[in-house]
Amino acid sequence: MPLFRQDRDPLGWCLLVVAAFQALVLWRLGTPTRYYFDEIHYVPAALKLLELIPANREHPLFGKEVIAALIHLLGDRPLAWRLGPALFGGLGLLAFSRLVWLVSLRRRATILATILLATNFMWFVQSRIAMLDMISAGLCMVGLWQFAAAWRARRTGIARLHLFGSGLALGLSLGAKWSGAPALAVPGLAFLVMRVAETGPAFIGKRGAGPIKGVSFVEAVLWLGLLPLAVYWATYIPAMFYPHHAIAPLGVVEQHELMVRLQDSVKKPHPYKTYWYQWVLNLRGIWYLFENVDGAHRGIVMIGNPLAMLAGLAAFFWGLWAAAFRRRRDVLFFAVLYALCVAMWIFNGKPVQFYYHYLLPGAFLMAILALALDALWDRRDRWRLVPRGVFGLSLALFLLFYPIISGWPLPFKDAYNFWMWLPTWR
């Protein structure tokens, strides 16, 4: 079929998917018309930032700066609160699609991955709430995309532009929230690994070596290491002008000691506290909203697509096999991203963790699932039905669950029982 000719860039199809996703995210974005879930923390913090008043000091500033800028432009109203995460959700989905294409050069897998992420519930729900996570995740995807584009670039000058874009996006992503830190280190680590594989011990000084021709190891450190750190620290500039508790321009250590202390101080039991293995198995979500608001009873639950997330977990183990025995470097890339992002929360000492911390790992899982489905798609035995079934049912589940992940008016209070398939989802 022409749609799935593997040698053709699927940009047009991916743009259509992203446009449909963005339209669905923006539709009724102002409902509910008041704060819900963690908006009670981040929107007031953004409003105080406009007045240079310290607030929500346990998190970096850039995500709140985005929300504050849109409030300044559009006024203090729900559309302004949520427009930043909504737009970064669409941008992140586009960046994800370009990343999958540039890493795999597999047209069908790229289209499947884009649709799977758009319908994995998590990316949609988090794009419609004024929190920091989608701003950080969207920029993380942009940074990874730009690194992959630099790797594929045929001219050194173009590669340098992409590396600059990667460093800029990675720094801003970290400046929104620390959740994506392991993924942000991957471009630099990937460059180092590929460089050593080509040059051996002389990876620092050897001229003309890869993985990006014309870009030395020292220059890569500049674009992928020093630039992101400089951009990250620049996001704190507004806090350097606080009338009280201002951040010193050179107070890097003190500021981060304070932030770590504040994050570790949250030890009070929370009804939605979860652990990484519950995220992986999609056992426990979060009710962002469940009450009568704006003239109707509404619910917004943060869970993963019941089929796609579990099928993705099976695909991850296939990915380890494919990387080891089929030398699938594209699968390995996303498997490493997934494993690093999950490992951060396994070994993180943060006492209270939530399912939305699985946002980035869940996205990388969709790339692995798409590559696994693509590998099965052209088989001529009974396995050929599996990828079509998984993809079709995952899309159908998104449509089925749409009312309870979008705040659609429920016909009666107990209607949510229709979607609560597991007792732990309640």
User: What are the extents of the domains in the chain?
Assistant: 2-131+235-425, 133-234
- List residues bridging with 287 in a β-sheet: 301
Strand 409-410 relative to strand 286-293, pairing: unpaired
Which pLDDT band, with edges at 50, 70 and 90, does 213 fall under? confident
Q: Which two tokens mark 361?
A: 């790992």
DSSP string, 208-244: T-SSSTT--HHHHHIIIIIHHHHHHHHTTGGGGG-SS
The pLDDT of residue 2 is 45
How would you classify residue 68: left for phi > 0, otherwise alpha for psi between -120 and 50, otherwise beta?
Answer: alpha
Which pLDDT band, with edges at 50, 70 and 90, does 150 fall under? very high
Full-model pTM: 0.95
Distances in Å between the Cα of 109 and the Cα atoms of 64, 132, 143 are 35, 29, 21
In this structure, the dihedral spanned by the alpha carbons of residues 126, 18, 10 and 396, taken in order and rounded to 10 degrees, is 70
Per-residue pLDDT tens for 106-115?
A: 999 999 999 9
Contact 273, 24 (CB under 8 A): no
The pLDDT of residue 1 is 39
3-state secondary structure of 290: strand
Question: Can you state the percent helix, strand and coil of the chain, rounding each to 5?
Answer: 70, 5, 30
H/E segment holding residue 402: helix 385-406
What does the pLDDT average to over 313-332? 96
Looking at 2-11, 19-28, 92-101, 379-388, which range is the least confident one? Answer: 2-11
Q: Please, which residues have CB within 8 angstroms of residue 289's CB and are 6 or more apart in sequence?
A: 32, 36, 37, 298, 299, 300, 407
Distance CA 293, CA 33 (A): 8
- Residues, the chain: 426
Per-residue pLDDT tens for 152-188?
A: 998 999 999 999 999 999 999 999 999 999 999 999 9
Distance CA 382, CA 360 (A): 33
Instruction: Indicate whether 205 pLDDT > 70.
Output: no
Instruction: Indicate whether 349 pLDDT > 80.
Output: no
Please classify residue 134 by burial: count the beta carbons closer than 10 Å to its beta carbon, then call 0-12 exposed, 13-18 middle and 19+ buried.
buried
Instruction: Indicate whether 325 pLDDT > 90.
Output: yes
Q: Which two tokens mark 238?
A: 């507004």
Which pLDDT band, with edges at 50, 70 and 90, does 89 fall under? very high
